[in-house]
């Protein structure tokens, strides 16, 4: 038995991998400790799909190396995307690291660690075959008990020209519906109130399976669990079907929230990005979504400064944002990634210009979001309470059905009492740029509403 310290970097999908590592290590009777100084084994599950993530991962590894320099008996294991992407460079450049494990090694990590502890040499670099997690693997949640991620696929077949994910994570592999159901039922029994379905492209779910797609999966989750909120994240625009929208409209337990990374709105730029839709289709998707789901909250991300993007194409995004007034918008500045198809494209935009464009759009969105938030003033929203606010002990904090965890604003509650994990009714009394403020009011008809169709 060893003590270990685990650092998890990157997105929610990587966090699920970390939760599997945690599950396997605790099941093998290893002991989790709070600080690297207390641990025999220092583990870091890395992200590495863009340069800022690579830099963050290297910094964190070097921090662990500094601990090991002080206590040479400690062992360091580096796991995940960074290893999958830069395997040989890392092995050569970081001799202090005892074990490097690729993205497919998280579930079986405890076995590798056992070998290392026993002095058997699993090799410094372990890159297991492509695989897929399943519900039989022990998993320990790191999120609050009322909220969890459900990773429905691994990998991606889309090959957007700026993205390293397909080469790091491999091709699309969907988990069978029954396997996901078993995990979801267990999570529900553990008290999960909000289950967010995640993937590299959630709308691709089931393309590699017979007889399964996202609506089928959602129907099964609705029938076999009583989780009050099911949330869909990472929907590729052209993968959102009328059937999916109707299903959301007809089932209150699927929150009216669509996370649709659009990346751009200029047709030539979208083509160069190898994204398989055009502005006209995005506009029609927004119109149909709002028609079928009048209260839908729409989130997207844009990538600016892509090679060949001129001022007019960049400003087309601002025009689009002003015209369609999306609820939540993230903007990222393009940067070349070694090995990506876009790296060799003509018309590279200087980094400082890409950052200027990003900042401009973020300012535009701040203005639009503030106006958008005002629509909630005076309304009563269902809110999942997270606990005392990180800002001040005087407030509670939670999120409405229109706000996703981690990425969107929140609801501050300044009147009323509730426990973390409670679903309460909050009357909105104030709105800020991204956040709302309100007071708890009596629950009139919420219980009755829970399982009824929106109609």
> Are the beta carbons of 297 and 257 closer than 8 angstroms?
yes
Q: Interface with ligand SF4 includes 159 (CB under 6 A)?
A: yes
By CB under 6 A, residue 166 contacts ligand SF4:
yes
Binding region for ligand SF4 (CB under 6 A) out of 32-40, 163-171, 327-335, 439-447: 163-171
Binding of ligand SF4 by 259 (CB under 6 A): no
Binding to ligand SF4, residues 327-346 (CB under 6 A):
none
Q: Which residue in the set 131, 135, 142, 158 belongs to the binding site for ligand SF4 (CB under 6 A)?
A: 158
Stretch that binds ligand SF4, among 2-10, 162-170, 188-196, 328-336 (CB under 6 A): 162-170
Q: Does 156 bind ligand SF4 (CB under 6 A)?
A: yes
Choose the binding region for ligand SF4 from 153-161, 247-255, 339-347, 366-374 (rule: CB under 6 A): 153-161
Per-residue binder mask for ligand SF4 (CB under 6 A), 215-244, x = binder: ---------------------x--------
For position 428 contacting ligand SF4 by CB under 6 A, the verdict is: no
- Shorter beta-carbon distance to ligand SF4: residue 162 or 402: 162
> Does the footprint of ligand SF4 cover residue 154 (CB under 6 A)?
no
Nearer to ligand SF4, 340 or 440 (CB): 340
Size of the site for ligand SF4 (CB under 6 A): 10
Residue 160 makes contact with ligand SF4 by CB under 6 A: yes
84 binds ligand SF4 (CB under 6 A): no
Which residue ranges make up the site for ligand SF4 (CB under 6 A)? 156, 158-160, 163, 165-166, 200-201, 236
């Amino acid at each position: 038995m060893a003590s270990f310290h685990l650092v998890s970097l990157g997105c929610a999908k990587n966090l699920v991998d970390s939760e599997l590592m945690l599950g396997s290590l605790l099941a093998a009777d290893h002991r989790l400790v709070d600080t690297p100084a207390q641990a025999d084994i220092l583990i870091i599950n890395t992200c590495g799909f863009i340069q800022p993530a690579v830099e963050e991962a290297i910094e964190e590894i070097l921090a662990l190396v500094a601990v090991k320099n002080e206590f040479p008996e400690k062992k360091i294991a580096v796991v995940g995307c960074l290893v999958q992407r830069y395997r040989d460079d890392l092995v050569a450049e970081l001799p202090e690291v005892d074990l490097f494990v690729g993205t497919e090694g998280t579930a079986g990590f405890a076995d590798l660690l056992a070998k290392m502890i026993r002095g058997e040499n699993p090799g410094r670099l372990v890159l297991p075959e492509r695989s897929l997690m399943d519900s039989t693997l022990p998993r320990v949640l790191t999120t609050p008990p009322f909220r969890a991620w459900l990773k429905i696929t691994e990998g991606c077949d889309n090959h957007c020209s700026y993205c390293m994910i397909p080469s790091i994570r491999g091709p699309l592999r969907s988990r069978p519906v029954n396997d996901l159901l078993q995990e979801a039922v267990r999570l529900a029994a553990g008290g999960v109130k909000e289950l967010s379905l995640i993937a590299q492209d959630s709308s691709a779910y089931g393309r590699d399976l017979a007889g399964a797609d996202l609506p089928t999966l959602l129907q099964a989750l609705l029938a076999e669990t009583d989780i009050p909120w099911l949330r869909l994240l990472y929907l590729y625009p052209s993968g959102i079907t009328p059937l999916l929208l109707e299903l959301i409209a007809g089932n209150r337990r699927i929150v009216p929230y669509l996370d649709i990374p659009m990346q751009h709105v200029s047709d030539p730029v979208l083509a160069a990005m190898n994204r398989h839709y055009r502005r006209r289709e995005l506009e029609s998707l927004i119109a149909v979504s709002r028609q079928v789901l009048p209260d839908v909250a729409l989130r997207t991300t844009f990538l600016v400064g892509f090679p060949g993007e001129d001022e007019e194409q960049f400003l087309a995004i601002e025009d689009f944002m002003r015209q369609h007034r999306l609820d939540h918008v993230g903007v990222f500045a393009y940067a070349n990634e070694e090995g990506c198809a876009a790296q060799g494209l003509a018309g590279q935009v200087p980094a400082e210009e890409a950052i200027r464009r990003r900042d401009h759009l973020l300012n535009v969105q701040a203005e639009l979001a503030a106006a958008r938030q005002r629509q909630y003033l005076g309304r009563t929203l269902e809110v999942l309470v997270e606990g005392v606010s990180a800002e001040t002990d005087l407030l509670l904090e939670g999120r409405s059905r229109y706000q996703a965890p981690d990425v969107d604003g929140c609801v501050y509650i300044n009147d009323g009492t509730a426990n973390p994990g409670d679903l309460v009714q909050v009357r909105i009394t104030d709105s800020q740029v991204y956040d709302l403020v309100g007071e708890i009011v009596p629950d009139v008809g919420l219980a009755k509403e829970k399982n009824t169709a929106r109609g």
